[in-house]
Amino acid sequence: MSKFLLDASAVLAYLNREPGAERVGRALFERPCLISSVNLTEVLTRLMDWGMSLEQAWTTIEDTNLHIIEYGTELARATAGLRPTTRPLGLSLGDRACLATAKHLNATVLTADRAWLDLAPTMDIRIECVRP
């Protein structure tokens, strides 16, 4: 059984009960779910934008039981290498960090961003959009 790597958009959809929240919730109970420390930063920042303190945001993340993947030099190089492929789609640094981490871990990405589906065949990464 492969692992799920959650993009910030998927985690935020789940926490904000947006479309796709149910799919992310099922994933959190189906198999190991991971998040890159880069994407974790995005989620924590957004939760704070929504009015949570950093401590409240951290507790919210702990309650999801996500496993945090540390981001280091190897992933930084891989993320930078994705720029030419992802630039036409306007993907952010966080988006590329998630994709590089997924490729490194051979994990399936869960995202709320449908544009990523166009990347799956060209990058040899399994991507699932949680939104209908």
Percent of the chain with pLDDT over 90: 80
Measured CA to CA, the distance from residue 96 to residue 79 in angstroms comes to 5
Q: For the chain, which domains are there? A: 4-129 (3.40.50.1010)
Question: Who has greater pLDDT, 118 or 26?
Answer: 26
What confidence tens digit (pLDDT) does each residue in 77-125 have? 999 999 998 888 889 999 999 999 999 999 999 999 998 888 877 888 8
Measured CA to CA, the distance from residue 110 to residue 24 in angstroms comes to 8
Q: What is the pTM of this model?
A: 0.92
Backbone angles phi, psi at 69, to 5 degrees: -100, 120
Look at residue 54 in the predicted model and tell me its pLDDT.
98
Sheet hosting strand 4-6, strand order edge to edge: 67-69, 33-36, 4-6, 108-111, 127-129
What confidence tens digit (pLDDT) does each residue in 68-89 have? 999 999 999 999 999 998 888 8
> Whole-number mean pLDDT of the chain?
94
Give me Rg for the CA atoms of the chain. 14
How would residue 1 be classed by pLDDT, with cut points 50, 70 and 90? low
Which residue stretches of the chain are H helix?
8-15, 21-30, 37-49, 54-64, 73-81, 83-86, 93-105, 120-123
